[in-house]
Amino acid sequence: MTSASGAAAPGGPAAHGYLDAASSEPLHPAARRTLLAALDQGYADPRRLHRSARSARLLLDNAREVVADCLDVRPDEVTFTASGTDAVHRGLLGLRAGRARHGDAVVHSAVEHSAVLHAAAWVPGDHVAVEVDRSGRVSPDAVARAAAAPGVAVTAVQAANHEVGTVQPVAEVSAALAAGGVPLFVDACAAGGRLPLPAGWDAAALSAHKWGGPAGVGVLLIRKGARWRNPFPGDDRVDERATGFENVPAALAAAAALQAVVAERDEVGRRQAALVDRIREGAARVPDTEVVGDPVDRLPHLVTFSCLYVDGEALVDGLDRRGFGVASGSACTASTLEPSHVLAAMGALTHGNVRVSLARDTTEAEVDGFLAALPEVVAGIRAEVGL
């Protein structure tokens, strides 16, 4: 039995569906195996000269080469950071610092991750948000017009949106910016491993736990020849883009997971896209529910919808009690359930929203269970408030 809001009765059955993989994908088996093996060999400081350090250095270099091969970049363009957020901050602010004589303003799409917005707000100067359409996509021409203003140092456009899944026209943005010489930073954390890295970036950031690597590993890409300058206090390391002692076992595990997900990307992506299509259709059948984001040109594993007259926190709780873990509020600030700036920029409902994101092993049965539970939970919440 369940309550009106869909809560499982004490002792009653509950499904077990983790549908929040966009926040963190479960550790990939390849990452787990590699991490356990590397813990015994990668403990030493790879900057030292003794045997244990040289062994750690070989592991770190191997991780860098694997990541470079997966992303179709040069190994010397790859730096491991403490997190995806750290990579975002270093990439964006480093490009801005490299263009200090041109100005200090940052131009970005209105739907960037909070890591980009916080970095832009942290430094002096204007930060200009470029509007998006109803699907959450930015116009390359609009970005180029904003970047042509005096004093603009850097632009930022994500590879794909972390909340609604819409893929951004990064290559077209880069082409539109070319005449003005303003560099482009790309936050590829949401798309890393799931889609090929788009062309045209001067710096980019990825996050390992988004593709099934360990948490606490970011990837910073700086294109060879880009004007990048460390925006933070320096460190006595060989790679000026990194700070502190790299987590060598975790970096190697992240590389192993990326290699595995890229190899299986087409198959997993097709399966997930088909399941997400079913979720989009099922959610749209719930009365007074709006499904957002581009229905086709999107991340394969993610969908967001908003239910009118329903509190997002109550919806997350009701689905959780039925065994389904989903996200609500802004995907960047879900712990505080702040209204989503992404949905607001798109002109969509900002309350009662749910982001569903499939893990690599999410099953059809779990999706079926979720689609059966969703209308019951929504109806139960509405009934409790007299609707």
Q: Distance (Å, rounded) from C-alpha 341 to C-alpha 346?
A: 9
The DSSP annotation for 74-104 comes to: -GGGEEEES-HHHHHHHHHHHHHHHTTTT--
Positions marked active-site? 332
Amino acid identity of residue 76, one-letter, is D
SS3 category, 109: strand
Burial class (CB in 10 A: 0-12, 13-18, 19+), 326: buried
- What residues pair up with 185 in beta bridges, in sequence order? 156, 203
Q: Distance (Å, rounded) from C-alpha 376 to C-alpha 5?
A: 7
Q: Distance (Å, rounded) from C-alpha 111 to C-alpha 119?
A: 14
Alpha-carbon radius of gyration of the chain: 22
Give the number of other CB atoms < 10 A from CB of residue 336: 8
Which is nearest to 110 in space by CA: 145, 90, 139, 89? 139
SS3 category, 278: helix
Give the number of other CB atoms < 10 A from CB of residue 93: 24
DSSP letter for 202, please.
Answer: S
